[in-house]
Each structure stands twice: as C-alpha cells, then as structure tokens.
Structure 1
C-alpha cells in the first residue's frame, strides 16, 4: 500500500512563505498562474487520483445483507481502516487546495494581473475559480490565519471554520484563535466527532471577555471553556496544566486512522497487543545503558522510556477487557481509563511539542 507523508504534502502545498515575497518574479507568476488556472497541470490531478490506488479492490470487499449487524471481520476492519485513511487524505488535500487558491488570488490582486483582461478583480475571481467575488475576498482575508493554523496544528481548517476563528483572532489575537481551533478539534475527537463552525462559535461565545496574556494560562482557559461547552467531564482533564499543548493531529496519512478515530490520530497502540517486533525493540531500548557523557536530562528521558515500555507491556487489551467486564466496578474502571488517557495524552503532547534536534 503506498505511503503518503501528509506533513510533506502540506509543506508542498503551502510552500515557503518567504519564497513568495520576491516582488512578482517569474517563478512566483508561473506558480500562481498554475494554481489559478485550476486543474490544468495533469500531474497535479494524477497525484490526487493516485490516492485511489491505496483503496482495497472493490472485488475484494465482501457484500453483506442489509440486516447484517455482525462484528466486522479482521479483513473488513483492515479494509475499513485503509479506505477511511484514503478518504481523509483526499479531504485534507481538498481543504489545503482552497488556501493555496487564496494565496494565488492575493498575488493576483496585488499585481492587478487582471487589468488587461477583466474589468475588475471580482470578475477575474469569478472567471478563474467559479465563485463570487465576495467568496474570493473572504478567502484572501482569512488565508493567513488558516495557514498558520494548519502549520501549527497539522490540520487544515475549512473556510467556514476560519470565518469563526477569525472572530476569535479579532478579539483575543491569533495565538488564541489557533489554540481555540486546536482545542475544539481535540475535545471533539474525544467525543468521536470533528470540529464544526457551530461548535467553534459556541466555544468562542463562551470565552470570558479577556484571556490571560500568558500562553499556557490562556490555553487552560480555552480548554476548560471547550470542555464545558461541548459537555465533556473534567474529573480527569485531558490536558495537563503543565503541558497545555493539544495533541497534534496531523493531516491524515495512509496509516493514520483506525476504526473511526479522528483523522491522523492513530490510537491502535492503545488497542493492539504488542507484536513480537515491537517487544524486541522495546527490550532493546530497555537495555540502553546511560553513558557517563549523557546529559542528566537525557538520562531522565531514557528512564522514562524504560518505564513506559514496561507499562505498555503490562497494560494489554485483555487487561482492559477484564477490568471492564465487572459491572460492580464500572464507574471506577471508567475513571481509571480516562485518567490513563489523560496522562498518556499529556506525555504525548510534551513529546510532540518538544524541540527537534
């Protein structure tokens, strides 16, 4: 099955913003006109259509009766995961393309490239993208926030969503607007849903008149407001106060979804028994000895990794299943399960947002 690096794909789509500041050089014109001309470059269309190569063969998909409510077989689960990943990747590519178009329109507006062929920029926009001038203006206005949201969160927001978070930006600043989107996305994922313009607006309206200036405190306020608004309990907070960074759910890759999880959020490690290969790798990591020249902080991280490996081997799917089987302990089990999710999410957040070497 072909792989698809969504982060690289986003970088390719959005490009290096500094590269667009060359003052209307030939490369900028060529690239922008290619975008504005729509699907002319056959290679671009082929790249998207090739996503279909990652789908299971239709002939291999077993038809079932309309009234069949049986559990999915292992093969069906694999086909479902494979198919949903392709769907999510294609959707992400489409969302990203909208903001690439917005960047192109901004350059066309600045250079007045329409001046010899159209009576106004609005007419030019309608002719090039088949949408109204108002829609084009809105895309251009919201593109900077959308692009920063995509780069910082790994998820490409839709125009309707950015229309809402732009209100957050106006009132609280861009960082708060990006944080709002990220937090609503992650809390929605806990509920098995995706962020919508309505849910974003509801959380936006629930925020206090002023937010703390300190980013970590600001995030904490947004997290609490989101959880209250979306009806998620806070007994076991999903975001630790000392690591208030939402789990970065990247635009989906072919291997990133599992059984309906949020795009790009691979939770299979929480559900599957460790394979022989993974146990071997974990054992090897456990055997790493701390050389005298290793900095103290790196020793701490290695010790933490050893502990996590031991916990990962002990906490299997069967342990969860047996714990959940006792009706008398249902409330306690759910509390512990949520606490485990909270702690592992907090550690994952710290690692994801840690500096890269």
Structure 2
C-alpha cells in the first residue's frame, strides 16, 4: 500500500492588489514614527527582496472556509471520488474566518466543519477538524493524513490549506505587502499505485523562536490599542530559515533513500524570493551538488504569500500545466517544504 495525492484543487481569488496600489498607504515604523523614504522607494525595495509584484485578495463576501470549500470541490472532482467516502477533513489555517471589514475571527464551528457542511457530506464518520501550525499547516495536514491511513483509521482524507491574510494585516506596516489570500486542497488516499509519500520530517523550534511571528498592535499609535495584527521579526525569521530549513530537508531526503540528483522539483513555502533562493542553495551545498535550473517553481511574484495555501496551490498549478516552463511527470520526486509561525519546519519527499 502506498499513500498518494490523487486529486488537487485550488482557489485563487480574482482581486489583484498590485505594488502600485500601496503608493497611497501611510507606512510607519513600529514606534509610530515616519519613514523617511517615499512609498515608491519602499515598494521598490520590497519587490527587490521578496520578488512580489502582485498579490490576491478575496472578494468581500467570501471567507477562508468559503475559499477552502471551493478548492476542495475541485480536488474531489479531480480525484473522481464520492465525497461521502472521505474519512477525514483536515483544514489548515491560522486566523479562522475573518469577515471583510471586521476585526473579529470566527472559529465556531471549526473551518473543517464548515467545509464539510458546504460539501453536503452526510456521513458522520467523516471527521472534520482544524490544524493551527503556521504556514507549514497544509504539509503537516498531509503528514497527519498519512498517519491516519497507515494506522488503519482512514482510507481517504481531504487536506485543505486556506487563508485570508489580507484581513489581519496592519496597513501601516510595510510587511503587510507580503500577505495574500487563497486556498489549496488535496485528496490523500491509500492506493496500489507506485510512489506517494516516501518520507517526512517535522520540527518545532520554540525555546527562543516561538514569537518570531506574533499578534501585535498597529504601527499607527492613534488606532485602537487592543486591536492586534499579524507581525513578524523578519530578520530573525530569515536567519532561522536559512540555518534550519536546509538541514530539515536533508534529513527528510536522506531518510527517503532518494539521491539528491533524482529530485526534480522543490515546492517550498514562499514568503520571500531571496530567502527561498538562499535556502535551496544551502540545501544543495550540503550535498556538494550544483543546484539544477528550474528546480524551485515560484508563484510568489503574482500570488504573494498565502500561508498554508501556498504549497498546495503551487502543486495544483504545476499538475495542471498552469505555471510557465514548469511541469511534473509520473515517477518524478518532489520535496514539499515549509517554515512558519511557531516556529515550525516540515518537509515531505514525494514520488509523483
């Protein structure tokens, strides 16, 4: 028995927020002081570091669970399965359903229950629950699905990553330009087909690193003091990722028995193009092997950082030949990897 992803789907919001749209924002330092650079300079420097020129924002009437439902529908259709046969629905997110123009998150009921309700699944034995694991949430959801299947507790799982980060950002913080909305979904199931999950690796670094990503007040000191927004210590995250993600990926690949030269694609969580490029370079340097051209597909330029949705959306785009000059074929070895709030790191070696 092998455990494979048999269907994928994604929902990419229609709303496009371009870098130029931030020219009119009032960006401030963390202490509320004025930044002594025009916004055009701030935005251009941001693009040079992150690679982001556009990001997607969800329509006002849609919430994160709605995006997850829309992606799940596509994954179910792609896998050609009866949704009543799904044993687990695992929904990765970080902030629940945040309605547009509000400040309160809603996680009652959990988002997985909402998705199951929207899918009109009657089977009570289809267990629906959420996972809060930072940006690596979808990858961890797939790892949990595999564990359920290997333990004989399930045959088929739906794993979703969905987020509307645009609704929890501080518009006075330059880092707000990174975040976007979206959803990706996958069907993970037992199959007699060759391939599937070959190895996985997860680690949580919390001793000094737990609060590298956190909820904090706005840079605008005049706003409500009790309202919190997503914040990060960017330099610390950058250094943490460079020092730890390549090692976690190597540990995972080594345990899979796959040679580094047989890795065709690395689908890594994307929050910063320069950081991801440095991670991949360090990863291949650990094997004293040159980095193959095109090994790391990128979607960040147009889609931004949609947290848990980034990796499954990227996988879905490549599977459906919707990413220029990127494709995968049967038998190709892929590494899924992510790093994010917690601080968590995980990776999966997967044979397509």
TM-score by length of 1: 0.29
Find the structure with the greater CA-based Rg. Answer: 1
Larger relative strand fraction: 2
More helix by share: 1
TM-score, normalised via structure 2 length:
0.29
